Structure 1
Amino acid sequence: MDDSRATDDRAASRAGAEDHLAPDDRFTLDDRLPADYFTATLHADVRRGLGGTPRTLPPKWFYDERGSDLFEEITRLPEYYPTRAEQEILDRRAVEIATLTRAATLIELGSGSSRKTRLLLDALTAGGTLRRYAPLDVSATALEEAGRAICRDYPGLRVAATVADFEGGLALSDEPGPRLLAFLGSTIGNFDEEQRAAFYRTLALSLTSDDVLLLGADLVKEPEVLVRAYDDAAGVTAEFDKNVLHVLNRELGADFDPAGFDHVAVWDAEHERIEMRLRSRRAQVAKIPGLDLSVDFAEGEDLRTELSCKFRRETLTAELKEGGFTVRQWWTDAAGRFALLLAVPN
């Protein structure tokens, strides 16, 4: 503990010299993705996913500008509880998180607009420990827009943004510690068990004994509640799901007919996860000239577009332990729908 206080004192001295800096001087953007990242990754994902059985695509290809707008709309739907539930926990626990972690740097994976993160930023800056916010995302545009806004709204705070794909490894710089690494929104649920195990090991190797992981996780609940959250009455999630076909058509010159597929959300009780799928309404062939590829769909055949795994406290705690973390705090919203936890490297 004494070492943390010394670190905080040194950081406070540096911050005094930084308070006068203009927002632009406190913002940096480090692009670590190769120039052909999106093209090469999309090509590889489509070849692998559409060439396999069952046919799959990673959910990251939902999120062009239209897809991001649709997802923002989803978070406001009455059926979609996870965003509100996590926000409720942060509203109640952000000050406690700041007190427990005394973080000098807040790192956020897949930060996007960084909207929810402001609750943590408020608590950590009020606590007097935070010196740097380090968001990491694949979208340089989202990072720049959110990062510059945060610099304007939090005088004295440095924002060191990194354009990177954390699924391919964790690109952490020399941020001042202790560090709080936030992975919110239950994005961890998009990984299957094997992917989660590899991800935890990567995190554990990247963090020190002074660092803390803040993880958001959606919990197992009644199947009908879960299905409604991923198949809303207004059809917004259906449009979001089909947006991946629009992305393939635009980026690869494909000729998918979005109207030829139905959106379905299926609860897989064995693996305790929701699967979002596009189900072919008829036998059809989709041509993808950009890859010199044709894909035959039988009537009723599914293209899986997202896994959304749900968790129980005992199993999530156990898999984190196996991956190199010990859970120290576990909080839920009042209805017990969603969990936010603090874990430290073993």
Structure 2
Amino acid sequence: MEQQIYDSLIVGGGPIGMACGIAAKKRNLSHIIIEKGCLVNSLYNYPVNMTFFSTSEKLEIGDTPFVSHNHRPVRREALEYYRRVQTLWNLNVHLFEEVLGIKATEENGKLVYEVSTSKTTYKAYSITIATGFYDIPNLMNVEGESLPKVKHYYDDPHLYAFTDVAVIGGANSAIDAALETYRKGARVTLIIREEEINDRVKYWVKPDIENRIKEGSIQCYFESEVKQIKEKSIVIQSKGNEVEIPNDFVLAMTGYQPNFDFLSKMGISLAEDELKTPAYNAETHESNIENLFLAGVVCGGMRTNTWFIENSRVHADIIYDTLIERLK
């Protein structure tokens, strides 16, 4: 039996990958979405108490209303919403399957991609990569970072109750972790490279952390960096002085990055500077490879604060408006 050739194979089953599947379906283009984890895997791995910065309508895809109990939805509501979107649109999603490689071939005079995964092989006339950036943490590259007490992902504050916790970072994820663990009884030390709390911290949270620091409930070291992590302490360099602090857990909320090795393996060119921005045409979102497109956060390279769900949902329509013309 001849193998089906999909009009579009989408790598990544997050909100933007789903939006791409919906855009393909609206244009009667056949599609398949390959996701190496669960549906909206990155959102699933967010902290259990996370509140989105965006309001619910800015997270909507597929003309499906997102009704939240609060002005801004929480993780649990987002997971329920995107499950409902999947149910309504019946997207062709294959979960817990990882894309391993692609190979360009030709059939009947047309460019066809052969995509190998951890389970099988597919064929498609085009590829859209919507893999986000949450899979790979930015490492501090210090001695002791591999100790079991060091976490680059934060989930539930209860684990840290009544322990000495060092939280590294000054952006939203670090501030949320510091406040939540403090309120569960942890003795929290916040270590921030910059001289102040990041301006992008949620405006309703920023006064809270500033007041906790001011009153001494949370100890904070500004203009500081971790130098070494030991079994029972952490050593930092703070404004020219070395300080050793008692410690049970380190929450390294130092940010995350796209899977650049995967992009390179796919043949996508990356900028040679520290931002590693992938090459793509802003008008079509096509990469340097014919009929291989980029959507969502992955477009920003190391600028992971450039694209969000709310401002990259439009990538799907841009890509599939381009494809519908090419695949006629």
- TM-score, normalised to structure 1, is 0.28
